[in-house]
Structure 1
Amino acid sequence: MDNVLLIIVTVLLLLSILDLVVGVSNDAVNFLNSAIGSKSAPRYVIMIIASLGILLGSVFSGGMMEVARKGIFHPQEFYLMEIMVIFLAVMLTDVILLDFYNTFGLPTSTTVSLVFELLGAAVAVSLFKIANTDATLADLTQYINAGKALAIISGIFISIAVAFIAGAVTMYVTRLIFTFNYKKTFKYLGSIWGGIALTAILYFIIMKGIVDSSVFNPEFIAYIESNTLTILGLSFITLTLIFQLFISLFNFNLLKYIVLAGTFALALSFAGNDLVNFIGVFMAGLKSYQIYLTSGVPAGHLMMGELAQPVSTNAIYLVIAGAIMTITLWLSKKARTVTETEIGLARQDSGSEKFGSTSISRGIVRGALNANASIERVLPQKVKKFISSRFNVEEQHKSKKHDASFDMLRASVNLTVASILISSATSLKLPLSTTYVTFMVAMASSLSDRAWGRESAVYRVTGVLTVISGWLFTALIAFTASLVVALFLSWTGVIGIFIMIAIAVFFILKSNKIHNKKLKEETESNIPLDMKEEAVVKRCVNEVNKALRNIVVIYNETIHGLSNEDRKLLKKLNNDVEEISFETKKYKANLYHTLTQLQSDSIETGHYYVQVIDYLREIAHSLSFITKPAFDHIDNNHKGLHKDQVVELKSINYEVSALFSDITRAINEQTFDEIPDIIKKQQQVIELLNVVRKKQIKRIKNGEATTRNSNLYLGILNETKNLLLQTINLLKAERDFIVKDTEMEKDADLVVENY
């Protein structure tokens, strides 16, 4: 039994390390998004400050460990092995669940996942105990700390409303005072805002954070608690005077340092509040094993009442955990994916959106617009004029860097409000969700800041609803999955542990593969802000060539799959076409950004680039109108093609492939003088399509073809013709795009020479 328990503790240790990695990858958004989104400093500076906050905050997190040991269930009602099953189920579920959210870039709550996983696993083990005794379901409350669990859960979800209201009101008032062009106003009032922000941060992070720390002398802590108001007042006055002096004499960029200080504070709060989510379960399992070693009682008869007693956490474990979190913060690619999701939803400018439009989001936006119109009808004209002048979004570019998602004033509001709320909860031992708080504060501030304009509101609302619905699913999935895993472990014992570890490893490897593929696709499709015009042109050529190669391959295989009635192949090709359509849609969505990369006088070049993308979209549509009907025909078990039809389609396929080969070579080598010859070949293929169409009509007249067969066949012939026409149009547009750009370069060189 000793060996089994040692194995379990070792597994818990390894899972906690893995949980630290996947957990920080998701929670990094909480303290990085404001600093990175506002470009307040180089990324490495932001990361260093956040790392220091994590390392320091990890030392202050010991008090939160109580939640994992006794916050959700009554440990005195469980035997040692039952407790270990609960802990294993929680850790296995948590690793898989958080990694899944990281893969798709969705921020979720590690606190909610922990609470519901503990609840699900405890319920499962309790049910297993009840099933093997004379107890009834009514006795479930004997094992579950229902009151504490309800308090924790309600506190977490109440924080959503509190965070949203606090963020919205603070941002609205702050913007009314400072406006978007805040530099002038900040010379006189900025020191007051800085004094308020940093005083609040110092109070909630340092003063409240050290109460449970063993680093400071108890008398020193008692002195701080008894003189809190005095210290706050002196801090505010001192900081305000210092800031005003620096602003007046040195034109001090106070907001930059508020954002960086807030990043440090929020990272510290995150480590202090959320470290329990990653290592609390392991620490509880280790404590259980230590109790067993000193008890002298067999594991099968040892009740775990001692686990409910107060316990101090070894600082070494906390520091090691903080170090792992810091290393993960620097290396994790998934952390960047999650961060980009929140920054994209909060950015001030419109553009390509990650989320689409839904009927719910459209209804919400429409209702908000109507409500806003009603309020404006009531407000006096002078009030409306004053508010409009304070929210003049045309001034926003004067207050933020050109590539920043929002300005540093909003970033400072996000960090100040979020750090105050989270630190308050930490000091009260409430496992408040840092993700919920920071996300809702960021969304509320962006709403108050009028970042959700008519161009982007629907998509931003969809994104927010997607994330929030993901939170609800977090609770449901965490509870259900942990319950199932705990039941499985209770039933299978040690063998089940190794089976579940294998399943967890499989899911993590699979999700990493999916994430790397997504990351590669996004990297290939995104155009960097600093890309030069010649690089844009080269990228366009590569994109068109890649798309045409994929299109002709899919066309060839569709004819092959239809001829052989290969349902599996046709289904795969249908999915491939959807991917091509999605890629061309992204090119279309990025048109605005791409055109801004071209020279200001390159109107003709931009015009032809728009044409290239439009024709590429049309080609993708024509291909989908070939593959989809072909798959549906075979999927519905309709009769396949006649032998004559197979022969005709293969001859068409051969000519189409040869034509596409000439087109891609002309684009790649820029030998556009071959276009007349290519057009002649296109006309020959179209003539072949006409001949084949007449043969099919003759078969219909002679009663040799069915209705469904004829509709499918004639549809393929028609869409093949459209495919060829749009491809030639694409070739001409690509020629004009490249030739016009080359002519402009020559003209520019000539101007330089003459000069």
Structure 2
Amino acid sequence: MENIYLFMLIALVVLAVVDIVVGVSNDAVNFLNSAIGSKAISMRTIMIVASLGIFIGAVFSSGLMEVARKGIFVPGQFYFDEIMVIFMAVMITDILLLDFFNTLGLPTSTTVSIVFNLLGAAVVMSFIKISKSETETLANLGEYINTAKAIEIIGGILLSVIIAFSVGAIVQWVSRLIFTFHIKEKMKHFGAVFGGVALAAIGYFIFMKGLKGTPWYDHFKDVVEGNELIILLGSFIVFTLFSYAFQKIFKKSILIIVISVGTFGLALAFSGNDLVNFIGVPMAAFHSYEFWVASGVDASAFSMEVLESKVPAEPLLLFIAGSIMVITLWFSKKARTVAETEISLSRQGESHEKFQPNMLSRVIVRGTTLISLGMGKLIPAATQEKLNKRFEKLDTKALTKDQSMNAPAFDMVRASVNLMVAGVLISIATTMKLPLSTTYVTFMVAMGTSLADRAWGRESAVYRVAGVLNVIGGWFFTALGAFVACGVVVFLIQWNKEIMTPILLLLTALLLARNYLSHKKKSEISLDPSKLKKSESSTVQGIISESADNITNVIARTNKIYTIVLKGLAKEDSSGLKKGRKQVDKLDAEIEELRDNIFYLIKNLDETSVRGSNFYITILAFLTDISQSLDFIAKKSYKHINNNHKKLKFSQIKDLQEIDQTLSSVLEEIEEVFNSRKFERISFVLARKTELETMLSNKIQKQIDRTRSEESSPKNTTLYFNILLETKDLATGIMNLMEEYYSSYKRE
């Protein structure tokens, strides 16, 4: 029996390493996004600065470890065997929950996750103890749980979300009024003062949040406490003079320093204070195991009241934890996925919107639009015009969504405000001893500054609001999911430790592997080289050349999809037909992206090449026709088989195979022409137009005769005619595409 606790302790150590990896992958969004989004400094520099902050914060992390031991529950009410079950359940659930969010690319709070895991585990274990007691009832639950602390945490988190969004929006709005989007000119006049304010705020944040609670803070405690205003004022003066000198000597914006220091400060605070979320529970388990072994008392009789005392963190363990955090930061692909979510929601320009609109997002956007129009009537027109001029963006070339994704998501003013406001709010909360989530604060500040910066225009607002609602909804799911899931895991382990602990650990490993493979597959799809390419040329010749690649791609995929669908229909293979439908949907989505690119194409064309837009639009129309025909054939075929209707007759299948062979030979000929760039041979393809039309007409007439004489299934007849008629439309679309390309090629 004693070996099970040693096994659980070893498992907790391994889980701690995994938890650091999944935790850093999610929380990296807090301190990386402002620097990454603004591209003020190179990615390598960002990673080095953040790594230094993480490592220093981890090594000098300290006494917050008691949150895992006594912050949520009363340890004296539990015995050693019960506390080990709680800790094991918390770590398993925390890892799976955070990895789930990482796979989805959604930022959540490691603080909320660990707190509600502890709360759920402790509540269920308390229920189990109360159910076995003859004297206790549910009214005694308050004796086991630190309810006041739990309520304080929940209230603080909800309040911080609202305050962070509001303050971020207000500060960014004022900053944009001062600097506008012409920041180079404005920084010459106001840069030193802004740098002084920002660096003083971030510097204060580093001391109050990043170092408070560490052994080093005791050396500054007497000087800092009670003299905050004097320190802030002195810092402002020193940093203002520094900012002025920096800009004069190096001829660079002080915002580069602000963003670098801010990134360091947030990384320092993250690792110094949030490390408890990853290793607090395993360390508490280790201390519990030490106390229990030394006591010689049975595990079910040894009270964990000893956890009430403060136990210093081991420097070696903190060093190892810091090293793992830094390594994860450099190599975690999921961290980049999570970061991309926040950056896309706050991007100033166009982006590939990750979230689809929902009813609530539409209602919110419509409501705020009406409110904005109403308020606009109260503000004089002259004032509105002046305000609008302050928010006028620089006249630049219209960037496509792909080009915009490679450009800075926002400028250095917004990045600096993000870091400064987040740092100040976290510092104030720390001073007032209010609990909050650094993830929620930094995310909501970023969303507030985006709104104030008019990044959420009519073109993107409904998508961005839907994204924010999805993320916030995920936060509530984190709390509820952690509470319920961890309670279930506690119940299972308590039921039979020896059996359920290995099973749950194996299940955890399998789920982590599954999520890893799923994320890897999604990443590979996003980098799929076979995707249709958007035209970025500004000349007619360039557009014609780039379109050739897309035509080759569509023709090849059409050939493959049509064959897959007909084979699936002949064999009554619903899985094959489903595969065909998915490939059609993917093709249609890519063609839709090309249509979205029309605006940018026309905007960026040379004056002498405007007629190229007509060619591009016409080509897209024919590609759309091809996609729609494939979609119709695939869906009708799948519906027929899925509803278990009669199989097509042998004669019908044979006719479809003949059509497939003829169409396939035409499509392969087109592929060869476009791959070899011998466009003069398109005339030979066009010569086969009559052959296709005649064959399809004959097949249609043949089926009419069959229907009058021998056909007995209305469903079969309907499906077969649908396929023949849509194949005719498909062939027409392909030939029209060839004619358009051939005529444009000859004109050039």
Q: Does 1:455 align with 2:459?
A: yes
Deviation for aligned residue 1:88: 1.3
Structure 2 Cα separation of the partners of residues 53 and 356 of structure 1: 36
Aligned to 2:211: 210
Aligned to 2:652: 645
Structure 2 Cα separation of the partners of residues 158 and 636 of structure 1: 53
Aligned to 2:151: 150
Q: Counterpart of 2:724 in structure 1: which amino acid?
A: L
Q: What's the TM-score, normalizing by structure 2?
A: 0.92
Q: Counterpart of 1:45 in structure 2: which amino acid?
A: T
Work out whether residues 182 and 394 of structure 2, in 8 Å CA contact, stay in contact via their aligned partners in 1: no
Of stretches 529-538 and 435-444 in structure 1, the one that deviates more from structure 2 is 529-538
Q: Counterpart of 1:451 in structure 2: which amino acid?
A: A
Of stretches 545-554 and 170-179 in structure 1, the one that deviates more from structure 2 is 545-554
Work out whether residues 152 and 435 of structure 2, in 8 Å CA contact, stay in contact via their aligned partners in 1: no
Aligned residues: 739
Q: Does 1:231 align with 2:231?
A: yes
Alignment of 1:539-688 (within 5 A): 541-590=548-597, 602-605=609-612, 607-688=614-695
Structure 1 Cα separation of the partners of residues 532 and 686 of structure 2: 33
Structure 1 Cα separation of the partners of residues 9 and 267 of structure 2: 29
Q: Counterpart of 2:158 in structure 1: which amino acid?
A: F
Q: Does 1:506 align with 2:510?
A: yes
User: 1:525-569, CA deviations, whole angstroms, 9 ceiling, x for partnerless residues?
Assistant: 597999999999887655544443333222212212222222333
Deviation for aligned residue 1:161: 0.3
Deviation for aligned residue 1:197: 1.1
Which among 706, 714, 720 is matched to residue 707 of structure 1?
714
Of stretches 613-622 and 497-506 in structure 1, the one that deviates more from structure 2 is 613-622
Q: Counterpart of 2:726 in structure 1: which amino acid?
A: E
Structure 1 Cα separation of the partners of residues 319 and 498 of structure 2: 31
Give the % identical residues.
44
Q: Counterpart of 1:17 in structure 2: which amino acid?
A: V
Deviation for aligned residue 1:616: 2.9
Structure 2 Cα separation of the partners of residues 598 and 338 of structure 1: 36
Alignment of 1:179-578 (within 5 A): 179-215=180-216, 218=218, 220-248=220-248, 250-394=250-394, 403-426=407-430, 430-524=434-528, 525=531, 541-578=548-585
In 2 relative to 1, CA 267–287 (structure 1 residues): closer, same or farther, beyond 3 Å? same
Q: Does 1:691 align with 2:691?
A: no
User: 1:662-706, CA deviations, whole angstroms, 9 ceiling, x for partnerless residues?
Assistant: 122222122222222222334322222211212222333347243
Q: Counterpart of 2:677 in structure 1: which amino acid?
A: Q
Aligned to 1:137: 138
Of stretches 1-10 and 263-272 in structure 1, the one that deviates more from structure 2 is 1-10
Work out whether residues 101 and 108 of structure 2, in 8 Å CA contact, stay in contact via their aligned partners in 1: yes
Deviation for aligned residue 1:46: 0.9
Q: Counterpart of 2:161 in structure 1: which amino acid?
A: I
Alignment of 1:123-134 (within 5 A): 123-134=123-134
Of stretches 695-704 and 450-459 in structure 1, the one that deviates more from structure 2 is 695-704
In 2 relative to 1, CA 610–29 (structure 1 residues): closer, same or farther, beyond 3 Å? farther
Deviation for aligned residue 1:606: 5.2
| Structure 1: unaligned runs, 5 residues or longer | 744-755
Work out whether residues 670 and 735 of structure 1, in 8 Å CA contact, stay in contact via their aligned partners in 2: no
Q: Counterpart of 2:660 in structure 1: which amino acid?
A: N
In 2 relative to 1, CA 327–680 (structure 1 residues): closer, same or farther, beyond 3 Å? same
Deviation for aligned residue 1:609: 4.1
Q: What's the TM-score, normalizing by structure 1?
A: 0.91
Deviation for aligned residue 1:396: 8.5
Work out whether residues 351 and 405 of structure 2, in 8 Å CA contact, stay in contact via their aligned partners in 1: no
Deviation for aligned residue 1:297: 1.2
SS in 1 for 2:182: coil
In 2 relative to 1, CA 591–105 (structure 1 residues): closer, same or farther, beyond 3 Å? farther
Alignment of 1:5-24 (within 5 A): 5-24=5-24
Deviation for aligned residue 1:633: 1.4
Of stretches 579-588 and 688-697 in structure 1, the one that deviates more from structure 2 is 579-588
Deviation for aligned residue 1:596: 7.6
User: 1:284-332, CA deviations, whole angstroms, 9 ceiling, x for partnerless residues?
Assistant: 1112112112222121211211112222212332222122111111111
Work out whether residues 34 and 414 of structure 1, in 8 Å CA contact, stay in contact via their aligned partners in 2: yes
Structure 1 Cα separation of the partners of residues 112 and 729 of structure 2: 53
Deviation for aligned residue 1:610: 4.3
| Structure 2: unaligned runs, 5 residues or longer | 399-403
User: 1:13-49, CA deviations, whole angstroms, 9 ceiling, x for partnerless residues?
Assistant: 1111111111111111111111111110111011111
Work out whether residues 126 and 141 of structure 2, in 8 Å CA contact, stay in contact via their aligned partners in 1: yes
SS in 2 for 1:432: coil
Structure 2 Cα separation of the partners of residues 556 and 179 of structure 1: 57
In 2 relative to 1, CA 600–207 (structure 1 residues): closer, same or farther, beyond 3 Å? farther
Q: Counterpart of 2:280 in structure 1: which amino acid?
A: G
Deviation for aligned residue 1:417: 0.6
Deviation for aligned residue 1:226: 3.8
Q: Counterpart of 1:568 in structure 2: which amino acid?
A: S
Aligned to 1:750: none
Work out whether residues 609 and 733 of structure 1, in 8 Å CA contact, stay in contact via their aligned partners in 2: no
Aligned to 1:177: 178
Work out whether residues 64 and 431 of structure 1, in 8 Å CA contact, stay in contact via their aligned partners in 2: no
Q: Counterpart of 1:355 in structure 2: which amino acid?
A: F
Aligned to 1:68: 68
Q: Counterpart of 2:669 in structure 1: which amino acid?
A: D
Structure 2 Cα separation of the partners of residues 308 and 594 of structure 1: 67
In 2 relative to 1, CA 395–448 (structure 1 residues): closer, same or farther, beyond 3 Å? farther
Work out whether residues 536 and 601 of structure 2, in 8 Å CA contact, stay in contact via their aligned partners in 1: no
